[in-house]
């Protein structure tokens, strides 16, 4: 210990004696220029999104400007002399259905002094030097933990070169956010900076006169309107949109989780906006799922492809030839909701019980059809609690064939009798119910045969199907859903087909989901019916009563 202290004292003295201390100190901190114009691009290695931007910054003028995506979106910051705030002007094209891009300008007050536009240097330490393009490059590195995310870690690396006046110009910045315990990287960006210029002109920092900029103080009242006015490429708008989103959906996160949520939200917002501008057959919308990863949303799904009683208890009674003849007699459109066979939309909540909801809806419909429209609200919870012996696992998922097999053997009580849906695995309390509704068996409709499905819907009632669901479908809002990315993927969800129709020569299935009425068209989705989109025709089952 004495030895160590002595060593430390010797080291400190030697250190102080041998250095030009001003010089040494400045080598250990990053000193950005106070005047700069830079071009840059941020590459998100997780999402693949490349975001080009350009910045002008002047401490002399107390102003900055950033342009995004070649200048379609711009931000101008102008400080107010002697006032503790500045004004941030943003201009961007407004998203209209007909693709006419009208430029709008908004302004907001920003408290405090002007912020630098270059990476935050607070956590960075010198980490060696390298050579690039005949220049000496300083490397800076920092590692911090992300509070609120178990094992969350941020690694930052910055590469700069030093000008003759001692200022450090960035050329590359890398930020990697990961969960160290599983190595999962949830954000990884590289930003390249180039074309540094230390001359910044007032005219570059001045907004065009013919823009009519208004103060929008009313953000946060109506999410849908806010997202129309704001733009996902402008960082300050992302903040406003995200705040409005949290308010609208009554979401609360701990401080350190906001970055992560905001990233997912803005990514989805941008993706949805671009999708909707393409005027494809369906629209998407920001909803309660839009700040979650696809992985986190596993609870929305939970149906596996069958592997046991695949064909059902009774074979489908028609051959493909018979079906083709029968289909001639069928109506061109069918909606079993209009017959009174379909109960109101339900929500499975945070529980992977879609398999119970889709099979129960098919049973409810078959019973209502047999009783001429008298319907009962049957208990999904009884399946979640009691169908484990059949290969189902409550909220952890299940299969359609074994759900029907269970109902055929045990019957299904009403929700009123069994108890309301709980969104969790509970004890099976079937012995307490006074009576159950019974089915004779179930049938797998000939797979990949749209005509067979139409015959089944007309003759037997709703058909439960297993499908693949992706993030686009989770944010579906209206129209006929067709997504090439949905093809050839694993089954993960159970829904119920309750009819079919034609719009603009495109045939579709009317599909009932179990994610509440806020999602899709009042809880329903129209899915392209051509052949086998999202594997919708691989495992279709109806109940026989």
Ligand X SMILES: *[C@@H]1O[C@H](CO)[C@@H](O)[C@H](O)[C@H]1NC(C)=O
Query: Which residue lies nearer to ligand X by CB, 22 or 321?
Result: 22
Q: What letter does residue 345 receive in the DSSP assignment?
A: P
What the block records as the tokens of 296 is: 């986190």
Q: According to CB under 6 A, which residues from 479 to 538 bind ligand X?
A: 482, 487, 528, 530-533
# chain residues binding ligand X, by CB under 6 A:
19
Helix (H) or strand (E) holding 457: helix 450-460
The least CB distance from residue 23 to ligand X, in Å, is: 5
For the CA atoms of 16, 19, 21, 22, the dihedral, rounded to the nearest 10 degrees, stands at 180
Q: In the annotation, is 486 catalytic?
A: no
Query: Which residue lies nearer to ligand X by CB, 98 or 490?
Result: 98
The least CB distance from residue 202 to ligand X, in Å, is: 11
Site string for ligand X, 387-426 (x = CB under 6 A): ----------------------------------------
Q: Which of 99, 320, 440, 502 binds ligand X (CB under 6 A)?
A: 99
Q: What letter does residue 325 receive in the DSSP assignment?
A: H
Span of 20-28, 45-53, 55-63, 398-406 interacting with ligand X by CB under 6 A = 20-28
In terms of Cβ atoms closer than 10 Å to its own Cβ (0-12, 13-18, 19+), residue 504 is exposed
355: left (phi over 0), alpha (psi -120 to 50) or beta: alpha
Site string for ligand X, 165-204 (x = CB under 6 A): --------------------------------x-x-x---
The least CB distance from residue 20 to ligand X, in Å, is: 8
User: DSSP H helical segments within 411-447, as ranges?
Assistant: 415-418
68: left (phi over 0), alpha (psi -120 to 50) or beta: beta
Q: According to CB under 6 A, which residues from 247 to 306 bind ligand X?
A: 279
Q: Please tell me which residue in 106, 395, 493, 534 is annotated as part of the active site.
A: 493
By CB under 6 A, residue 115 contacts ligand X? no
Q: According to CB under 6 A, which residues from 131 to 170 bind ligand X?
A: 162
Site string for ligand X, 422-441 (x = CB under 6 A): -------x--x---------
What the block records as the tokens of 96 is: 């209209």
Q: Which of 4, 48, 83, 98 binds ligand X (CB under 6 A)?
A: 98
Q: In the annotation, is 354 catalytic?
A: yes
Span of 23-31, 252-260, 291-299, 373-381 interacting with ligand X by CB under 6 A = 23-31
Helix/strand/coil (H/E/C) assignment for every residue in 11-30: HHHHHHHHCCHHHHHHHCCC
Query: Which residue lies nearer to ligand X by CB, 27 or 313?
Result: 27
Strands 303-304 and 541-544: unpaired
User: DSSP H helical segments within 148-282, as ranges?
Assistant: 223-229, 235-248, 258-277
By CB under 6 A, residue 6 contacts ligand X? no
Query: Which residue lies nearer to ligand X by CB, 200 or 543?
Result: 200
Contact 138/129 with Cβ under 8 angstroms? yes
Q: Please tell me which residue in 73, 351, 354, 428 is annotated as part of the active site.
A: 354
CA 490/CA 318 separation, integer angstroms? 28
Angle at 334 (CA atoms; ends 342, 513), nearest 5 degrees: 45
CA 138/CA 248 separation, integer angstroms? 46
Per CB under 6 A, residues contacting ligand X are 23-24, 27, 98-99, 162, 197, 199, 201, 279, 429, 432, 482, 487, 528, 530-533
Catalytic residues: 354, 493, 513
């Amino acid at each position: 210990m004495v030895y160590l202290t002595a060593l430390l004292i010797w080291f400190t003295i030697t250190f102080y004696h041998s250095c030009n201390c001003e010089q040494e100190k400045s080598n250990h901190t990053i000193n950005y220029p106070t005047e700069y114009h830079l071009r840059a691009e941020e590459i998100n290695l997780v999402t693949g999104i490349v975001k080009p931007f350009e910045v002008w910054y002047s401490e002399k003028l107390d102003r900055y400007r950033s342009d995004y995506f070649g200048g379609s979106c711009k931000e101008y910051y102008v400080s107010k002399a002697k006032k503790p705030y500045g004004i941030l002007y943003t201009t961007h094209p407004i998203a209209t259905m007909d693709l006419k891009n009208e430029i709008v300008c908004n302004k907001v007050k920003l408290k405090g002094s002007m912020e630098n536009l270059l990476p935050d240097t607070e956590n960075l330490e010198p980490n060696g030097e390298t050579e690039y393009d005949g220049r000496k490059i300083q490397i800076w590195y920092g590692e911090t933990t992300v509070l609120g995310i178990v094992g969350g870690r941020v690694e930052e690396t910055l590469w700069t070169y030093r000008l003759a006046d001692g200022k450090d110009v960035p050329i590359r910045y890398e930020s990697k956010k990961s969960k160290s315990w599983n190595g999962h990287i949830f954000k990884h960006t590289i930003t390249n900076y180039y074309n540094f210029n230390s001359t910044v002109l007032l005219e570059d920092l001045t907004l065009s006169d013919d823009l009519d900029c208004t103060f929008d103080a009313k953000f946060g009242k109506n999410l849908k309107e806010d997202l129309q006015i704001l733009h996902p490429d402008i960082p300050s708008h992302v903040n406003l949109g995200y705040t409005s989103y949290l308010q609208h959906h009554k979401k609360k996160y701990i401080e350190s989780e906001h970055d992560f949520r905001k990233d997912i939200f803005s990514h989805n917002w941008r993706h949805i906006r671009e999708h909707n501008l393409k005027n494809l057959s369906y629209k998407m919308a920001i909803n309660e799922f839009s700040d979650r990863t696809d992985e986190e949303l596993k609870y929305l799904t939970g149906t596996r492809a069958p592997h046991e009683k695949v064909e059902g208890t009774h074979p489908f009674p028609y051959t493909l030839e018979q079906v083709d003849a029968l289909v001639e007699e069928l109506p061109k459109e069918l909606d079993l909701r209009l017959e009174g066979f379909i109960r109101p939309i339900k929500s499975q909540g945070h529980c992977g019980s879609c398999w119970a909801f889709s099979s129960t809806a098919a049973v409810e419909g078959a019973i209502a059809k047999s009783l001429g429209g008298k319907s009962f609200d049957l208990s999904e919870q009884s399946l979640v609690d009691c169908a484990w012996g059949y290969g189902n696992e409550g909220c952890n998922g299940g299969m359609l064939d074994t759900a029907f097999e269970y109902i055929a053997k045990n019957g299904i009580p009403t929700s009123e009798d069994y108890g309301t849906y709980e969104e969790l695995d509970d004890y099976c309390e079937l012995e307490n119910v006074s009576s159950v509704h019974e089915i004779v068996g179930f049938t797998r409709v000939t797979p990949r045969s749209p005509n067979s499905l139409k015959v089944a819907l007309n003759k037997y009632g709703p058909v439960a199907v297993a499908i693949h669901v992706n993030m686009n479908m989770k944010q579906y809002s209206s129209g006929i859903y067709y997504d090439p990315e949905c093809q050839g993927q694993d089954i993960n969800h159970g829904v119920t087909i309750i009819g079919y129709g034609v719009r603009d020569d495109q045939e579709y299935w009317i599909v009932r989901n179990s994610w509440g009425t806020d999602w899709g068209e009042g809880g329903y989705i129209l899915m392209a019916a051509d052949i086998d989109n999202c594997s919708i025709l691989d495992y279709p089952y109806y109940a026989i009563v």
